[in-house]
C-alpha cells in the first residue's frame, strides 16, 4: 500500500502542473498553493494513517488528458495486479468516459477494463467489451484470446470453436488440440441427450482436427458399446492405446470387457502380451495374470506374476500377487499375504490416479482439461514409477 502512495504522491502533484501548463501558464507551477485543497486532503488522510482514503483522493485528482492517459493505464494495471480490482475498474472506467481519448487509447483502456472485469468474475461485462474490441485492428487477437477464456469458463463450446478458428491464422499455433477437445465437449452433450449419430459426426471432426485425440476415440468406443458393437469398440480403444501409450491403463479395462463380450479370449491374450511388451508400466500384466488364472490355474498365474513383478515392480502387481498367493491351497503364509494385500490396497487408494504432465496437478478422476493450468489433454493416468511431485514455490 505504502509503495503505491509514494508513486501516487508525485503523480497527483504533477497533475496540477500539467493542468496549469494546458491552460497556457507556461511557467511550471510548483508552489504548494497551486496543488489545491484535494492534494492536502489526500496528504491529511496519509498523515492520519488512512492510506485507502488517501489513494482514492489522489486517483480522483488525476485529470485525464493526453499526457496522463499512460499514468492512468499504469495505475489501473497496478491496482489489478495487486488484486484491488474495484479501484482498477474505477480508474479504467473514468478513462473511457473521457471524449478526448484517441481511438487507440480508448481501445487500450477497453482491453484493460475487460481484464479487470474478468478478474472480478464479471464475465458478461468483459465479454461485451472484448466483442467491441474484436473489430479493432490492434487488439483483435488479444480480444479473441480473452473471449476464448470466457467461453471456456462458460462451457460454450460452439463459441470456443468459432473463436479458435478465427484466432488460428493470427497465432503461430493452429490450435488443433483445443479444437478437437471443443468438438469432444459438444459430442459429450449430444451423447448425454442420446443423439449418438450426431455425436459421432462431431467426434470424426475432432479426429480430423487432431489425429492423436484419444479422447475422441474413447468416446467413439463408448458409443459403439452403447450400440452393442463390441468389436468396433475394441478396435477404437486399441487405436487410442497405440496412439498414446500413456492412456493404455485407461482403455485396458474396456478392451478386456469387449473381448469377453465377444468370447475372444485368444485375441485378448495376444493383445495383452503385445501391450505388456510395448508398455510394461501399464496394467496389461495384471489382466494377463487374470487370464492365465482362468485358463491354467492360480499357481501358473502366481508364477507368471512373480516373474512379472520382479521385472517391473509395481504396487498393483504386488497387491495382485499377494491376493493370488493367499488363494493358493496349503499356503501357510496366507494370513500374512492377505494383510499385505490390504495395506497395498490402502496405499493405492490414497494416491491420486491421474496427474497433469504440464503443471503436476494431481487428480482422482480423469479431467480432459486440467483444472489447474487449463491445458487440454495433459492430465494422464499415473504409473507406479512416476517421479515424486515437484513442489514449486
Ligand atoms: Zn495442469
pLDDT one-digit tens code per residue, 39-48: 677 677 667 7
Ligand 1 centroid to residue 367 C-alpha, Å:
10
Q: Which of 8-12, 16-20, 54-58, 276-280 has the highest mean pLDDT?
A: 276-280
Q: Please indicate, yes or no, whether residues 306 and 316 belong to a single structural domain of this protein.
A: yes
Summarised one tens digit per residue, pLDDT across range 214-248 is: 999 999 999 999 999 999 999 999 999 999 988 99
Residue 383 lies in a domain: yes
pLDDT at 39: 67
Ligand 1 centroid to residue 362 C-alpha, Å:
9
Radius of gyration of the chain (CA): 31
Residue 325 lies in a domain: yes
Query: What's the CA gap between 69 and 95, in Å, rounded?
Result: 7
18 pLDDT tier (thresholds 50, 70, 90): very low
Ligand 1 centroid to residue 387 C-alpha, Å:
16
Ligand 1 centroid to residue 140 C-alpha, Å:
27
How distant, in Å, are the alpha carbons of 197, 204, 221, 239, 368 from that of 226?
12, 17, 9, 19, 21
Residue 237 lies in a domain: no
pTM (predicted TM-score): 0.74
Angle between helix 284-296 and helix 248-261 axes, rounded to 10 deg: 30
Residue 117 lies in a domain: no
Residue with cell 479493432: 136
Residue 393 lies in a domain: yes
Ligand 1 centroid to residue 365 C-alpha, Å:
13
Ligand 1 centroid to residue 180 C-alpha, Å:
18
Write out the three cell numbers for 47: 498523515
pLDDT exceeds 60 at position 190: yes
201 pLDDT tier (thresholds 50, 70, 90): very high
Q: Please indicate, yes or no, whether residues 366 and 345 belong to a single structural domain of this protein.
A: no
287 pLDDT tier (thresholds 50, 70, 90): very high
Query: What's the CA gap between 354 and 364, in Å, rounded?
Result: 6
pLDDT at 333: 66
Of 301, 349, 295, 290, whose CA–CA distance to 325 is shortest?
A: 301
Lowest mean pLDDT of 69-83, 145-159, 176-190, 368-382, name the range.
Answer: 69-83
Q: Quote the domain boundaries for residue 306.
A: 298-350
Ligand 1 centroid to residue 182 C-alpha, Å:
17
Average pLDDT over residues 289-302: 90
Ligand 1 centroid to residue 245 C-alpha, Å:
19
Of 240, 239, 235, whose CA–CA distance to 258 is shortest?
A: 235
Residue 158 lies in a domain: no
Q: Please indicate, yes or no, whether residues 361 and 393 belong to a single structural domain of this protein.
A: yes
Residue 122 lies in a domain: no
Q: Please indicate, yes or no, whether residues 360 and 345 belong to a single structural domain of this protein.
A: no
Ligand 1 centroid to residue 29 C-alpha, Å:
55
Residue 380 lies in a domain: yes
Q: Please indicate, yes or no, whether residues 360 and 329 belong to a single structural domain of this protein.
A: no
pLDDT at 313: 76
The residues, any chain, with a CB within 8 Å of residue 34's CB and separated by 6 or more, are: 16, 17, 20
Total number of domains in the chain: 2
Amino acid at each position: 500500500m505504502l509503495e503505491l502512495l509514494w508513486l501516487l504522491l508525485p503523480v497527483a502533484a504533477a497533475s496540477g502542473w500539467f493542468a496549469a501548463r494546458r491552460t497556457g501558464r507556461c511557467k511550471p507551477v510548483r508552489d504548494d498553493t497551486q496543488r489545491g485543497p484535494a492534494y492536502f486532503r489526500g496528504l491529511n488522510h496519509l498523515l492520519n494513517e488512512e492510506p485507502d482514503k488517501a489513494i482514492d483522493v489522489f486517483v480522483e485528482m488525476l485529470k485525464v488528458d493526453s499526457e496522463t492517459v499512460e499514468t492512468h493505464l499504469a495505475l489501473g494495471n497496478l491496482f489489478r495486479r495487486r488484486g484491488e480490482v474495484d479501484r482498477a475498474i474505477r480508474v479504467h472506467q473514468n478513462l473511457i468516459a473521457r471524449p478526448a481519448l484517441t481511438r487507440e487509447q480508448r481501445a487500450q483502456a477497453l482491453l484493460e477494463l475487460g481484464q479487470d472485469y474478468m478478474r472480478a468474475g464479471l464475465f458478461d461485462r468483459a465479454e461485451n467489451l472484448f466483442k467491441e474490441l474484436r473489430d479493432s485492428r490492434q487488439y483483435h487477437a488479444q480480444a479473441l484470446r480473452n473471449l476464448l477464456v470466457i467461453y471456456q469458463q462458460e462451457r460454450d463450446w460452439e463459441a470456443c470453436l468459432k473463436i479458435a478458428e478465427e484466432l488460428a491464422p493470427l497465432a503461430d499455433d493452429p490450435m488443433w488440440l483445443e479444437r478437437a477437445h471443443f468438438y469432444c465437449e459438444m459430442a459429450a452433450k449430444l451423447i448425454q441427450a442420446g443423439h449418438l449419430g450426431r455425436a459421432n459426426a462431431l467426434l470424426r471432426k475432432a479426429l480430423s482436427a487432431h489425429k492423436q485425440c484419444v479422447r475422441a476415440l474413447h468416446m467413439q468406443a463408448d458409443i459403439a458399446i452403447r450400440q452393442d458393437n463390441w468389436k468396433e469398440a475394441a478396435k477404437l480403444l486399441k487405436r487410442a492405446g497405440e496412439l498414446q501409450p500413456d492412456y493404455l491403463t485407461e482403455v485396458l479395462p474396456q478392451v478386456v470387457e469387449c473381448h469377453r463380450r465377444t468370447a475372444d479370449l485368444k485375441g485378448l491374450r495376444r493383445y495383452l502380451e503385445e501391450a505388456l511388451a510395448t508398455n510394461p508400466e501399464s496394467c496389461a500384466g495384471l489382466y494377463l495374470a487374470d487370464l492365465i488364472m482362468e485358463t491354467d490355474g492360480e499357481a501358473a498365474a502366481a508364477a507368471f506374476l512373480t516373474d512379472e513383478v520382479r521385472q517391473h515392480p509395481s504396487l498393483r502387481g504386488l497387491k495382485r500377487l499377494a491376493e493370488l498367493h493367499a488363494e493358493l491351497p496349503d499356503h501357510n503364509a496366507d494370513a500374512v499375504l492377505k494383510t499385505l494385500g490390504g495395506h497395498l490396497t490402502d496405499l493405492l487408494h490414497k494416491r491420486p490416479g491421474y496427474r497433469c504432465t504440464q503443471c503436476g496437478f494431481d487428480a482422482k478422476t480423469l479431467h480432459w482439461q486440467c483444472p489447474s493450468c487449463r491445458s487440454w489433454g495433459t492430465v494422464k493416468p499415473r504409473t507406479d514409477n512416476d517421479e515424486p511431485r515437484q513442489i514449486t514455490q
